[in-house]
Structure 1
Amino acid sequence: MIDLRRIDTEIIKSYNLDTKMKKPNSKRFYHCVKSLCPIIYLVCLIANFSCSNTKSEEYFVRQCDFVSDYQYNDTTKWAITCRVWGLLKYYHPNVTAGKFDWDKVLLESLEAISYVNTPDALNLELNKMLISAGEYSYKEDKEWNDSLKMNVNLSWLNSSFIDDSLKIELKKIASLEVKYPSFYGVDYEHIVLQNEKNYDFEVSSSQKSVNLRLLSFFRYWNVIYYFFPHKYLMDRSWDVILSEYIPKFIESVDPQSYNNTFLKLAATLNDGHAYLITGNESPKDFRDIIEKVDDITIVRGNAGELQKGDIISSIGKQNIKQVRDSLSVFTAASTQGNKDYRINCSIGQMIFGQKNLVKVLRGDKLLEINVVPVDYKKENLQIYRWISDGIGYVDLSQVTNKDINPLFEYLSEADGIIFDLRKAGPYKIELEPFVCHLFEKKEIQLSSMVYPDPMHPGAFLWRKNFQTTIPDSLTCPIYKGKIVVLINESTQSGLETIALEIRNNCNSTLVGRSTSGALGRVTLVPLLGRKTSFSNFALFSADGTELQRKGITPDILVLPTIDAIRNGRDEILNAGIDFIKKQQM
């Protein structure tokens, strides 16, 4: 799992700079699901499930907001170049076979296109790009159908200034079946993009630097266009964002503005997995020290000169609302709750990771405090323990595989066990040996999912309500008491999956607040000098509702209060304890 704190430094730097479906072919399913079954539900943990009921499902189709009409200008010439290059990258047989350095082809085209100022001249360069991909044999793909156009639309070919002969050829190429594995496609065994090159370059105003920045942006835009299953859930059209961000990348002539532009771009995905990793991330962890209660930003724990319960009024020369608004545009999140949580983390980094003048309301006094960098250390409590009469507690953020059997043995007589999934970070347990103590059935039902069709980049396939076998489940001692799972807006990715499958497969109660809403496997995108990521698969609830951008809702909702923070009460944990106590009566 990518640690949330790794993006805080870059965010702080940014702030300081003021229809009818068809059944897919079984061979496609074999290529993708054969490797996905053991790993799709682990997300960032490691599982070793074996799949059953592996029959094909239909295409996943959701209507996206596309831009079809491209009138020629200095921005749209780059936008059309991006789209033509991406289509050839993921569909032309010679390019997908790895016969050409497709980055090099783009860079050569960008150099020539920088001098282009008419549609005819641009068409000449785009035809050169097509010719450079070489000849190919055309065989109509019987699986290709109009439903695929819903996720990747080709209407831009009809309504743009591309000449007719090029349109015809590109449409033919887009209808081909891609041979898996594709040279530049996703490796579905390891869920990584293959053969993407990195470049050492100086961010400057030179044309060479501009071309490399456009290469980085075009790579990212096409990866999202062809492999991100949640485009239909975005607040804004990915097509519109293409034209909007081309001038931004051209004008990002220094490293900080380049990072800022990528942070803002990633935030438009509305995806909690849309991280930007530059290698300059802070090693310090300031999560969970700041909380937002309604419109109030409050300190949760004593750190440096600040005290638990201090209400933050301003940081530096900006009031707290201005601070939060400034950070919001750089913060990628699937839900507003998760965005607030991430902004809280960034504010913690701002206050305690560097010198700052902070105004706080303490009681009825407004204080100005010069805060110096501090190391905020959380109290390390026992991984699993008794917290009340007959009630056990397990902090899953610290549990390793070797702890699993001992903890269930230690808490075997508990009336109820509380499993805490609220601490974001890299978890250390395998899913299989953990859930085998909770699930009585050897065959369990997994939630429906959507995964990319490797033979039609841009199309996605359903996998509905399938089962998996948990090895050794019949030999594991099954815990028979009450199961309570604590969740909130920091519960993301693999943690959400654990909560979801516990809810689906055993008698459990979820307590807290809605989760992050970023489930599914994380795919890294290598960029120039940095990396980013996104959610490559989608999970759905039992009724078919997407969980992306919604999260998992608790059975018992617990909202934060200022009184609880000031008095050091963990209201979510207390609600879990109270629930079990009522069952004991």
Structure 2
Amino acid sequence: MKKYILFILMFIGTMAYSHKNISHRAFLEKNLTEIEKLAATAKVWGFLKYYHPKVADGSQNWDEQLFKILRQTENTQTVQQFSNAISDWIMSLGEVKKYENIKTDIDNVYFDKNIDFSWFDDRTIFTKELSQMLKFVQKYKFQGENYYVTFQKKDPNAVPLQFINEVKYSKFDWTDKNMRLLAFFRYWNYVEYFFPYKYQTDQDWNLVLTEMMPKFSDPKTELDFHLAMRELSVKLNDSHSSLGTSKMYDKFGEKFVPADFKIIDSKAVVVGLKNDSLARISDIKIGDVITEVEGKSIQTIIKENTKYVEGSNKASVLRNFYWAIFNGNSDSVQVKYTREGRSSQKYIKRYEYAYLIAIPKPKEKWRFLNNKVSYVNLGEITEDDVPEMMNKIMVSDAIIFDLRNNARGADYLIAEYLNPEPREFVKFADADLKTPGNFIWRKEEEKCGKVNPNYYKGKVIVLVNEVTQSHGEYTAMSLKVAPNTTVIGSQTSGADGGVVRFEIIRGFRTQFSSYGVFYPNKKETQRIGIVPDIKVEQTIKGIQSGKDEILERALKFAEKGK
């Protein structure tokens, strides 16, 4: 009986072992699709670029190495074949040596929501041996100054992060698949390792890689390739992120209509005129409500083109939509519109942008709205204006600071008049160039204000809307910490932090937010924006009546406190 039981156990064990071997062998013999191979190659290539000691030092022609491994993996079919090709390639780059004293800064506090190397262990793509090799490179990563990315310190007005030493290819040929993939892989990895808000995007960045791959590996036309590049940048959900090339005119046109619009309830409402005389030619008036363009509803146009329009949130996307709705290459565009309750159709003339530039009208920097309330247009105020202005308006019971045209850098000086002492208002996170993908919290929060017993003690009111972006939002954060401050308006753009501008490859210029901006308690501002204490949305009726509904609400609050 004991021998029988032992035989059964041995048989079960043998079968389990055999099944395990069969499963493992089946995994190794699993065929990979072209998209799977290209996506995995993009990740490995980018990782090695910033981590491998024999790559990050600039000693390799890294673009040529990409072309080399693409050739070597093109004819591989199975997981085993693909992993072997990648492993052999990594080995050919040079030895990665162990080192005992791994350099760390114990004083650093890390923001690690973006860094993720779990893909090393993807057994549907990589063998265990290749995974271990990648982990070894990660552990014994490059310790010097990376050849491809740096922090510049010469220009205080430029963002620190800079992508450097990339070949631009003056004769870039879009029909060359290798060149298309190079552009794609570069950009995807810039975002993977150096975009501080990657964790906030609507779509997981790994899924973006696989979804977009066919549009780069096999575009039908040159325009399709350019549109894929723009769509890729839009997927950052960052109002700072954009990409423009001359080919975009083929899709959207290079002629503009002479008016500014706001999208409200899926309608385009005229809120301003770019050029009064040209607007009169097409009988455009503020308050006109355009419902169709070339026979398509505004809602349909938005649905068809959202993937090409950048923005951190819905408010900023709609703010940026005007060119996708009205631009074109013809001299005019047919629209259906309503005015004073009646619907009509007409043609609006289009012009090259240079013809729309009119002599700017002087704008008032500040004024008293009544005996108790003063108004400051921060889109016009510079530091030179602040001392005289503040000394005069300090007598007001309330000061309204309008940030709906952004700001010009007077925030720190204004804060000295509004605060009794220095106050923390913002916290930053910078890319960790020693461990790309990680970010490091700056050791101290930024402060504004100074010791001032004679600080302003009245109401401080800040006006914001979707135009309030970047430095405008930063300014709102600094004003918000002053005593007795109230923010009134609608959702802001939700894009804060210095903008890194660079050329991915010749002819493809782009940008995105390069460092993280948070409240001192580490709460996000990106995508969320500056949340109003009192929410007020502009309405079609208000525009047609010539009302500034946000300013009117601010005046009511200044007078009644509610």
Normalising by structure 1, report the TM-score. 0.77
How does 1:83-482 map onto structure 2 within 5 Å?
83-139=43-99, 141=102, 151-179=115-143, 181-187=145-151, 189=153, 190-205=160-175, 209-252=176-219, 254-278=221-245, 289-301=260-272, 303=279, 304-344=282-322, 346-347=324-325, 349=327, 355-373=332-350, 375=356, 379-424=361-406, 427-429=407-409, 431-441=411-421, 443-463=422-442, 466=445, 468=447, 473-474=450-451, 478-482=455-459
Give 5+ residue unaligned stretches, structure 1. 1-69
Taking the aligned partners of 1:92 and 1:338, their CA distance within structure 2 comes to 39
CA shift for structure 1 position 446: 3.0
Q: Which one is further off, 296-305 or 326-335?
A: 296-305
CA separation of 1:138/1:114 partners in 2, compared to 1, >3 Å: closer, same or farther? same
Taking the aligned partners of 1:554 and 1:156, their CA distance within structure 2 comes to 43
Taking the aligned partners of 1:316 and 1:339, their CA distance within structure 2 comes to 22
Taking the aligned partners of 2:464 and 2:258, their CA distance within structure 1 comes to 16
Taking the aligned partners of 2:470 and 2:259, their CA distance within structure 1 comes to 18
1:527 aligns with 2:494: no
Taking the aligned partners of 2:255 and 2:383, their CA distance within structure 1 comes to 26
Q: Which residue does the alignment assign to 1:79?
A: 39
Taking the aligned partners of 1:430 and 1:249, their CA distance within structure 2 comes to 44
SS in structure 1 of the partner of residue 367 of structure 2: strand
Q: Structure 2: which amino acid aligns with 1:230? A: Y
- Aligned residue pairs total 506
SS in structure 1 of the partner of residue 433 of structure 2: coil
> Once the two structures are superposed, what CA deviation does each residue of 1:480-516 show, in whole Å capped at 9, x if it has no partner?
4432111012211121111112212443111111211
Taking the aligned partners of 1:149 and 1:554, their CA distance within structure 2 comes to 27
Kept in 2: contact 1:449–1:463 (CA 8 A): yes
SS in structure 2 of the partner of residue 497 of structure 1: helix
Q: Structure 2: which amino acid aligns with 1:454? A: L
Taking the aligned partners of 2:287 and 2:448, their CA distance within structure 1 comes to 48
CA shift for structure 1 position 185: 2.6
SS in structure 1 of the partner of residue 263 of structure 2: strand
Structure with more relative contact order (C-alpha pairs < 8 Å, separation 6 or more)? 1
Taking the aligned partners of 1:320 and 1:283, their CA distance within structure 2 comes to 20
CA separation of 1:480/1:512 partners in 2, compared to 1, >3 Å: closer, same or farther? same
Larger Cα-atom Rg: 2
Counterpart among 528, 539, 546 of residue 517 in structure 2:
539
Q: Which one is further off, 378-387 or 573-582?
A: 378-387
Taking the aligned partners of 2:457 and 2:429, their CA distance within structure 1 comes to 33
SS in structure 1 of the partner of residue 216 of structure 2: helix
Taking the aligned partners of 2:302 and 2:477, their CA distance within structure 1 comes to 31
Q: Which one is further off, 388-397 or 263-272?
A: 388-397
CA separation of 1:148/1:474 partners in 2, compared to 1, >3 Å: closer, same or farther? closer
SS in structure 1 of the partner of residue 476 of structure 2: helix
Taking the aligned partners of 2:425 and 2:344, their CA distance within structure 1 comes to 53
Taking the aligned partners of 1:477 and 1:319, their CA distance within structure 2 comes to 56
CA separation of 1:287/1:488 partners in 2, compared to 1, >3 Å: closer, same or farther? farther
Kept in 1: contact 2:291–2:335 (CA 8 A): yes
SS in structure 2 of the partner of residue 446 of structure 1: strand
CA separation of 1:497/1:354 partners in 2, compared to 1, >3 Å: closer, same or farther? farther
SS in structure 2 of the partner of residue 360 of structure 1: strand
Kept in 2: contact 1:204–1:253 (CA 8 A): no
CA separation of 1:129/1:287 partners in 2, compared to 1, >3 Å: closer, same or farther? farther
Q: Structure 2: which amino acid aligns with 1:179? A: Q
* Identity of matched residues, %: 28
Q: Which one is further off, 461-470 or 333-342?
A: 461-470
CA shift for structure 1 position 216: 0.8
Q: Structure 1: which amino acid aligns with 2:424? A: Q
Kept in 2: contact 1:287–1:348 (CA 8 A): no
CA separation of 1:86/1:423 partners in 2, compared to 1, >3 Å: closer, same or farther? same
Counterpart among 541, 554, 559 of residue 576 in structure 1:
554
Taking the aligned partners of 2:266 and 2:208, their CA distance within structure 1 comes to 30
Kept in 2: contact 1:289–1:348 (CA 8 A): no
Taking the aligned partners of 2:445 and 2:343, their CA distance within structure 1 comes to 58
> Once the two structures are superposed, what CA deviation does each residue of 1:453-492 show, in whole Å capped at 9, x if it has no partner?
222111233458735476xx45898444432111012211
SS in structure 2 of the partner of residue 169 of structure 1: helix
Kept in 2: contact 1:196–1:526 (CA 8 A): no
Q: Structure 2: which amino acid aligns with 1:291? A: K
> Once the two structures are superposed, what CA deviation does each residue of 1:79-113 show, in whole Å capped at 9, x if it has no partner?
11111111110101222222223223213333444
> Once the two structures are superposed, what CA deviation does each residue of 1:328-372 show, in whole Å capped at 9, x if it has no partner?
111121111111211246435569x95211111223332111111
Q: Structure 2: which amino acid aligns with 1:105? A: Q
CA separation of 1:571/1:119 partners in 2, compared to 1, >3 Å: closer, same or farther? same
SS in structure 2 of the partner of residue 289 of structure 1: strand
CA shift for structure 1 position 431: 4.3
Taking the aligned partners of 2:224 and 2:42, their CA distance within structure 1 comes to 22
Q: Structure 1: which amino acid aligns with 2:299? A: K
SS in structure 1 of the partner of residue 369 of structure 2: strand
CA shift for structure 1 position 571: 1.0
CA separation of 1:463/1:272 partners in 2, compared to 1, >3 Å: closer, same or farther? same
Kept in 1: contact 2:417–2:452 (CA 8 A): no
Kept in 1: contact 2:464–2:488 (CA 8 A): yes
Q: Which one is further off, 115-124 or 565-574?
A: 115-124
Taking the aligned partners of 1:385 and 1:71, their CA distance within structure 2 comes to 72
SS in structure 1 of the partner of residue 54 of structure 2: helix
CA shift for structure 1 position 157: 3.8
Q: Which residue does the alignment assign to 2:21?
A: none
CA shift for structure 1 position 264: 1.3
Normalising by structure 2, report the TM-score. 0.80
Taking the aligned partners of 1:200 and 1:538, their CA distance within structure 2 comes to 33
Superposed CA RMSD in Å reads 3.4
Q: Structure 1: which amino acid aligns with 2:34? A: D
CA separation of 1:181/1:396 partners in 2, compared to 1, >3 Å: closer, same or farther? farther
Kept in 1: contact 2:149–2:161 (CA 8 A): no
CA separation of 1:200/1:115 partners in 2, compared to 1, >3 Å: closer, same or farther? farther
Taking the aligned partners of 1:288 and 1:509, their CA distance within structure 2 comes to 32
CA separation of 1:94/1:149 partners in 2, compared to 1, >3 Å: closer, same or farther? farther
Q: Structure 1: which amino acid aligns with 2:461? A: V
How does 1:544-559 map onto structure 2 within 5 Å?
544-559=522-537
Give 5+ residue unaligned stretches, structure 2. 1-29, 154-159, 274-278
